[in-house]
Copies of this chain bind each other. A is one copy, B any other.
Amino acid sequence: MARPYNFSAGPATMPEAVLQQAAAEMLDWHGTGMGVMEMSHRSTSFAAIAEQAEHDLRTLLAIPEHFKVLFSQGGALAHNAIVPMNLAGRRPERTMDFVVTGSWSQKSAQEAARYGAARIVANTADTGFTTLPDPASWRLSPDASYVHLCSNETIHGVEFHTLPDLAALGSDAPLVIDFSSHVLSRPVDWSRVGLAYGGAQKNIGPAGLTLIVVREDLLGHALPICPSVFDYRALAEAGSMLNTPPTYAIYIAGLTFQWLLAQREGNLSGVAAIEARNVAKAQRLYEAIDGSSLYINRVDPACRSRMNIPFFLRGDDGQPLRDPAHPRNAAFLRGAQARGLVQLKGHKSLGGMRASLYNAMPMAGVEALVDYMRDFERQG
């Protein structure tokens, strides 16, 4: 079958060039006669792969020297527990501040409550998670071990386009961000971040790899109940090789990093180039939605996600049709599938549709979606 445009929220579409290289090297990496999956994680070949991947990631995201890059496992959901296991103990009160702006930050707060006092300092549930709260309104704790937010909510489609400056808000706590679903889609302002974590299966590639970028001074506070392989200090000291890391996933991530480094857009390259493309892609789809009378996205334009765009078809009464089984939604999804536009069904908690436009989704995919949406609307 021809390659479809895959709008899945994750695991998600990957660059063809990455998959082609992986296929070509499957049985023989760089003349070793072995595939990467077969290599000891202690071998010089794999050490070179892991070092290059970290080096390229540092280049792409301009990660400062005083941050450690860790390759771990378990996904963001596991690290919703592992982060407090590592950071809550920074202060004896074990207070953690949570900014709740959607499903993912809500889950983070719930999970952290196992390890200390998880305080909700802002919550946009009353807007259906369609807005972001003004940082000036956050009721930050004076003694927080850290402040947590999800910088892009995959389900609700809200994104922090600027990270808060906690120091300016009078807090000396480090900011922790879950950046799973927009990592590498834009630069990160590391001066405002203490720790960033994310699963790789959205904007990097392989499920089963979890990335942690952490400021060195935050290491060393793991609670005694933290499993030793998830103690970030120990992991940092062991170069992410306390035990066997997800070697093949690291290799694929490395290929994706190289693909990203090679991206060009006008005078821009790397993450700057991909960001320009991401801005254009998102703008194209939001304009199509806003310009139609059939489709609707209810997120405040000031914080709409570039990566995950939930939208609804309207019913005859003009109201959003949540139920994916509604005949109009079912017809939309069937027609999309027939045009090779797949995985557009919204998350079950929200219903409707969702288009994820990660780095590997070309503008041509967005154009094809917009064309289809227009045709579907015309045909009624």
Contact = CB atoms under 8 A, between A and B. Distances in A.
A156 B73 CA distance: 27
A208 interface: yes
A86 to B, nearest CB: 12
A115 interface: yes
A12 B38 contact: yes
A331 interface: no
Contacts of A191: none
B40 A343 contact: yes
Interface stretch (A55-63, A120-128, A244-252, A295-303): A244-252
Contacts of A14: 35, 37-38
A158 B174 CA distance: 48
Interface string A31-47: 11111011111010000
B31 A1 contact: yes
Q: How many copies does the complex hold?
A: 2
User: Interface size for chain A: under 10, 10 to 19, 20 to 34, or 35 or more residues?
Assistant: 35 or more
Interface stretch (A22-30, A131-139, A321-329): A22-30
Contact of A33 (B1, B35, B76, B245): B1
Contact of A244 (B1, B20, B207, B225): B207
A237 to B, nearest CB: 15
B225 A10 contact: no
A248 B230 CA distance: 22
A225 B228 contact: no
A19 interface: yes
B26 A207 contact: no
A78 interface: yes
Interface string A329-354: 00000000000101100000000000
A80 B243 CA distance: 12
Contacts of A11: 37-41, 244, 247
